Amino acid sequence: MTQHAPKISQYHVIAAVVAAELNQTLSYCKQINLTASNAQAASARVGNAALGFKALTGFIDDLASYTMKAATDINQLAHQASRLATETARAAVALNHFQQAKLKANGAPYGDTINPAVAATQAHHSKLQQEFDRLIDKMENQLFELKRNLRTANILASICRIEACRVDTANQTIFNDVANRVDDVAQLIRRRVDHAITLFGNTAP
């Protein structure tokens, strides 16, 4: 096997776990969407006193839509990485066989005829390896970007609580519940994303 084989195998597992984590994140995003819809209905019932809160529900919905798209994109990258890891591993096996055959053919008549096949397999493996590395880097960068944007949820939740103070006591609970829901779901998503990021951090160079 080539020196890249352990790395490929390791990232193959990571890609599968990341896909599972992001699948769960998609269900959380749907919860945020539902929360935004409920908040919009509540603010409509309250009227002018909740106009500021009504505007916030649009931002909450935007955050959910962004998170869902980001999670879907990363999930697709994870599936691509898993597939590419398999192709790269197969290329590594083929290259190893050719290299062993070349060693055995060393000094034999027409032994050099295997060189073009070895070179072509080496080039194919290197190309797959480079594509795989770029894909892994892209996936990791998008996870960090998603985590960064999730900070918006804390800001939205805080503003929601401020806006809740502007309505009558009977409706304050509803708006505070929305704020808490946004906070809680965002925290669940962050945990999934952090777990995925940690997997990359634990890989050997």
The residue type of 40 is Q
Q: Which of 57, 61, 63, 30 is nearest to 150 (CA)?
A: 63
What does the pLDDT read at residue 1? 43
Q: How confident is the model at residue 123 (pLDDT cuts 50, 70, 90)?
A: very high
What does the pLDDT read at residue 172? 82
Q: Does residue 47 register a pLDDT over 80?
A: no
C-alpha 182/C-alpha 35 separation (Å) is 8
What SS3 state is found at 157? helix
What does the pLDDT read at residue 139? 87
Instruction: Write the DSSP string, 18-47.
Output: HHHHHHHHHHHHHHHHHHHHHHHHHHHHH-
Q: Does residue 3 register a pLDDT over 60?
A: no
168-177 tens-digit pLDDT = 787 788 888 8
What does the pLDDT read at residue 21? 80
Q: Which of 195, 191, 186, 200 is nearest to 139 (CA)?
A: 200
pTM over 0.85: no
